[in-house]
Amino acid sequence: MKQQSIADIEYGNRKRKTKREEFLEAMDAVIPWDEVVALIEPYYYDGERGRPPRGIEPMLRMYLLASWFTLSDEGVEDAIYDSYAFKEFMKIDFMGEAQVPDATTLCKFRKLMHESGVAQLLFDSLKKFLDQHGKLMHGGTIVDATLIEAPTSTKNAEGKRDPEMHSVKKGNQWYFGERLHIGVDAGTGYIHSVEVTAANASERDIAPGLIREDDHVLYGDAGLRGIEKRPEVLRDSHLSSIDYRINTGNRNHYKTRAPGFDWDRYIEYQKSRVRCKVEYPFLVIKRFFGYRMVRYRGIAKNKTHALMLCFSVNVFLLAQSSMSKAS
């Protein structure tokens, strides 16, 4: 039990908690901090030169806060000093000597997460944890992609837009940026595969790489029509044996004038009932975590950020299931 300060006593008398505080408490309770710290430790600074490094867990907590709330390095540092909920999530007691890591230290930690590939390790370790505890059902995958816009301005040192981002037309509107592809377990809705490409990359080219070895069914929207006829799919014995349940995307395609029950519409409805599970992770990524525009230049850095967000989505879904069982 830590010693309570006057601020802790004052905040303890509030009538209710904010949604931000409830969210942070739920995420804090679910994330296996000891296991995550053990994964990062082999890649962390040894502290032989320069000033002593900060602890791994406080740096990871600060990095997650910046990712979840779309804050810059300086912004998350100020927010921790300003917000009681952020301070409690960071486990910092200002009564002692501990202080918030500065923005430069967070920048170096984020660089370490990208260059060492720890983000992929964290995502894979959580996926393994979900599999071991029966949270993944296997057998079926839902594949979908969403566009993440990038700045189109050329007012920078190079006078150019990001060369790794591209434009694509969706409907009657043009978008410039990247495309985030995910593979979701058809039974539970957890993300098991992630890929980031330029916006002009075809979903049919990326979808085969998001399919697991033990999948037998693939659900997708109209953007995946004709995937079962592609040469790379026909050459692979596993991919060619999968049942591709793709929505047609054209209402007139399954309109029948025959009397009686409309089986075509019913089949499309059943496909959509399963496929809609992929939309909720996108809602969490784009609305809850605010990832509507890329944060960095280049595909590689943005993929690291997307992996951490998908890791956080799985943690968020796990926290929701834990709270529903408790209630």
240 in any annotated domain: yes
187 in any annotated domain: yes
Q: How many domains does the chain have?
A: 2
Q: Are residues 191 and 282 in the same domain?
A: yes
Q: Are residues 154 and 281 in the same domain?
A: yes
Give the pLDDT of residue 216: 94
pLDDT for 324 beyond 70: no
Q: Are residues 169 and 249 in the same domain?
A: yes
The two three-digit tokens of residue 124, written as one number = 């894979």
Q: Are residues 43 and 143 in the same domain?
A: no
Any idea what the Cα angle at residue 69 is, between residues 321 and 14, rounded to 5°?
70
Give the pLDDT of residue 94: 72
Question: How large a percentage of the chain has pLDDT more than 70?
Answer: 88
| Residues spanned by the domain of 45 | 6-116
188 in any annotated domain: yes
Q: Are residues 81 and 189 in the same domain?
A: no
49 in any annotated domain: yes
In this structure, what CATH number is given to the domain that contains residue 147?
3.30.420
What's the pLDDT band for 266 if we cut at 50, 70, 90?
confident
How many beta carbons lie within 10 A of that of residue 138, not counting itself? 16
322 in any annotated domain: no
Distance CA 233, CA 166 (A): 26
Q: Are residues 175 and 103 in the same domain?
A: no
Average pLDDT of the chain is 88
Q: Are residues 166 and 105 in the same domain?
A: no
Torsion of CA 64, 73, 295, 28, to 10 degrees: 10
The predicted-structure confidence for 176-231, as pLDDT tens digits, reads as follows 999 999 999 999 999 999 999 999 999 999 999 999 999 999 999 988 999 999 99
Q: Do 196 and 303 contact (CB within 8 A), yes or no?
A: yes
Q: Do 289 and 312 contact (CB within 8 A), yes or no?
A: yes
